[in-house]
Amino acid sequence: MHLLPNQYYLMIVGDGPYREELEHMASDLQDRVIFLGNRMNIPQLLEFADAFVHMPEWEEGFGITVIEALAAGKVCIVANSGAMPEIITDGVDGFIVEKGNVMELANCLMELGKEKIDIIRKNATQKATCFSMKKYCSTLDRLILRN
Protein backbone atom coordinates (compact mmCIF):
# COMPACT_ATOMS: atom_id res chain seq x y z
CA MET A 1 0.00 0.00 0.00
CA HIS A 2 1.35 3.41 -0.96
CA LEU A 3 0.49 6.21 1.41
CA LEU A 4 1.86 9.09 -0.67
CA PRO A 5 1.14 10.16 -4.25
CA ASN A 6 3.66 9.43 -6.99
CA GLN A 7 5.17 12.93 -6.93
CA TYR A 8 6.96 12.09 -3.66
CA TYR A 9 10.51 10.76 -3.71
CA LEU A 10 12.48 9.61 -0.73
CA MET A 11 16.25 9.76 -0.32
CA ILE A 12 17.58 7.63 2.52
CA VAL A 13 21.05 8.64 3.68
CA GLY A 14 23.06 6.36 5.94
CA ASP A 15 23.62 2.69 6.29
CA GLY A 16 23.05 0.03 8.85
CA PRO A 17 21.55 -3.30 9.70
CA TYR A 18 18.05 -2.38 8.42
CA ARG A 19 19.10 -1.32 4.93
CA GLU A 20 18.42 -4.68 3.28
CA GLU A 21 15.00 -4.90 4.93
CA LEU A 22 14.16 -1.34 3.85
CA GLU A 23 15.30 -2.02 0.28
CA HIS A 24 13.03 -5.07 0.19
CA MET A 25 10.10 -3.03 1.54
CA ALA A 26 10.68 -0.33 -1.08
CA SER A 27 11.21 -2.68 -4.02
CA ASP A 28 7.73 -2.04 -5.47
CA LEU A 29 7.98 1.77 -5.34
CA GLN A 30 9.48 2.07 -8.85
CA ASP A 31 12.60 4.09 -8.05
CA ARG A 32 10.75 6.53 -5.78
CA VAL A 33 13.03 5.48 -2.91
CA ILE A 34 16.75 6.06 -3.39
CA PHE A 35 19.26 4.53 -0.97
CA LEU A 36 22.37 6.71 -0.91
CA GLY A 37 24.37 4.97 1.82
CA ASN A 38 26.81 6.94 3.96
CA ARG A 39 27.48 10.36 2.48
CA MET A 40 29.63 13.36 3.29
CA ASN A 41 27.80 15.88 1.06
CA ILE A 42 24.70 16.33 3.21
CA PRO A 43 24.39 20.12 2.62
CA GLN A 44 24.27 19.51 -1.13
CA LEU A 45 21.70 16.72 -0.72
CA LEU A 46 19.53 18.95 1.46
CA GLU A 47 19.34 21.47 -1.40
CA PHE A 48 17.23 18.95 -3.34
CA ALA A 49 14.82 18.25 -0.47
CA ASP A 50 11.59 19.98 0.45
CA ALA A 51 11.28 18.17 3.77
CA PHE A 52 13.55 16.34 6.19
CA VAL A 53 12.09 13.40 8.10
CA HIS A 54 13.79 12.21 11.30
CA MET A 55 12.26 9.08 12.79
CA PRO A 56 14.95 7.43 14.93
CA GLU A 57 14.31 4.00 16.36
CA TRP A 58 16.04 4.88 19.63
CA GLU A 59 15.80 7.96 21.83
CA GLU A 60 18.23 10.63 20.73
CA GLY A 61 19.79 13.08 23.17
CA PHE A 62 20.31 15.79 20.56
CA GLY A 63 19.51 15.82 16.84
CA ILE A 64 22.33 17.61 15.06
CA THR A 65 20.94 16.40 11.72
CA VAL A 66 17.67 18.17 12.50
CA ILE A 67 19.51 21.40 13.34
CA GLU A 68 21.42 21.15 10.04
CA ALA A 69 18.15 20.67 8.15
CA LEU A 70 16.56 23.63 9.96
CA ALA A 71 19.58 25.77 9.06
CA ALA A 72 19.13 24.73 5.43
CA GLY A 73 15.52 25.96 5.62
CA LYS A 74 13.93 22.54 5.33
CA VAL A 75 10.58 21.54 6.75
CA CYS A 76 11.51 19.06 9.48
CA ILE A 77 9.12 16.32 10.49
CA VAL A 78 10.36 14.51 13.57
CA ALA A 79 9.27 11.78 15.96
CA ASN A 80 7.91 12.76 19.35
CA SER A 81 10.86 11.24 21.18
CA GLY A 82 14.16 12.15 22.76
CA ALA A 83 15.18 15.79 22.34
CA MET A 84 13.13 16.34 19.20
CA PRO A 85 10.25 18.17 20.98
CA GLU A 86 12.85 20.49 22.53
CA ILE A 87 14.18 21.40 19.09
CA ILE A 88 10.97 21.58 17.03
CA THR A 89 7.89 23.62 17.92
CA ASP A 90 5.08 21.68 16.28
CA GLY A 91 3.41 23.60 13.48
CA VAL A 92 5.72 26.60 13.89
CA ASP A 93 9.21 25.62 12.70
CA GLY A 94 8.55 21.98 11.88
CA PHE A 95 6.20 19.15 12.77
CA ILE A 96 6.16 16.47 15.43
CA VAL A 97 4.42 13.14 14.81
CA GLU A 98 4.06 10.16 17.07
CA LYS A 99 6.96 7.75 16.80
CA GLY A 100 6.14 4.88 14.46
CA ASN A 101 2.85 6.37 13.23
CA VAL A 102 3.27 6.13 9.46
CA MET A 103 -0.26 7.39 8.75
CA GLU A 104 0.37 10.56 10.76
CA LEU A 105 3.68 11.05 8.93
CA ALA A 106 2.04 10.54 5.52
CA ASN A 107 -0.80 12.94 6.40
CA CYS A 108 1.69 15.55 7.57
CA LEU A 109 3.60 15.32 4.28
CA MET A 110 0.42 15.49 2.20
CA GLU A 111 -0.86 18.57 4.06
CA LEU A 112 2.22 20.60 3.20
CA GLY A 113 1.17 23.32 0.80
CA LYS A 114 3.47 25.97 -0.68
CA GLU A 115 2.25 28.68 1.69
CA LYS A 116 2.75 26.46 4.74
CA ILE A 117 6.18 25.33 3.50
CA ASP A 118 7.32 28.95 3.01
CA ILE A 119 6.27 29.95 6.54
CA ILE A 120 7.83 26.87 8.17
CA ARG A 121 11.09 27.34 6.21
CA LYS A 122 11.43 30.93 7.39
CA ASN A 123 10.76 29.91 10.98
CA ALA A 124 13.13 26.94 10.66
CA THR A 125 16.12 29.08 9.68
CA GLN A 126 15.36 31.44 12.57
CA LYS A 127 15.12 28.50 15.00
CA ALA A 128 18.48 27.12 13.82
CA THR A 129 20.17 30.31 14.99
CA CYS A 130 19.25 29.32 18.57
CA PHE A 131 21.69 26.43 18.15
CA SER A 132 24.47 28.30 16.36
CA MET A 133 28.07 28.22 17.56
CA LYS A 134 27.92 31.99 18.07
CA LYS A 135 24.91 31.65 20.38
CA TYR A 136 26.52 28.72 22.22
CA CYS A 137 29.77 30.64 22.82
CA SER A 138 27.91 33.77 23.92
CA THR A 139 25.85 31.78 26.44
CA LEU A 140 28.93 29.94 27.69
CA ASP A 141 30.80 33.25 28.13
CA ARG A 142 27.93 34.70 30.18
CA LEU A 143 27.85 31.62 32.39
CA ILE A 144 31.61 31.67 32.97
CA LEU A 145 31.70 35.41 33.69
CA ARG A 146 28.86 35.08 36.19
CA ASN A 147 30.85 32.66 38.35
Span 108-116, mean pLDDT? Answer: 88
91 and 101 Cβ atoms separated by less than 8 Å: no
- Predicted pLDDT at 32: 87
- Predicted pLDDT at 57: 80
- Between CA 36 and CA 114 the distance in angstroms is 27
**pLDDT tens sequence across 16-63:** 998 999 899 888 887 889 999 999 998 899 998 989 999 888 888 888
DSSP-derived letter for residue 130 is G
Domains and CATH numbers, the chain: 40-146 (3.40.50.2000)
Average pLDDT over the chain, rounded to whole? 89
- Predicted pLDDT at 28: 84
- Predicted pLDDT at 1: 47
Name the more confident of 140 and 147.
Answer: 140
* CA-to-CA dists, residue 119 to 11, 55, 105, 112, 130, angstroms: 24, 23, 19, 11, 18
60 and 84 Cβ atoms separated by less than 8 Å: yes
**Cα–chain-centroid distance for residue 105?**
12
Which of 43, 81, 37, 42 minimizes the C-alpha distance to 62? 81
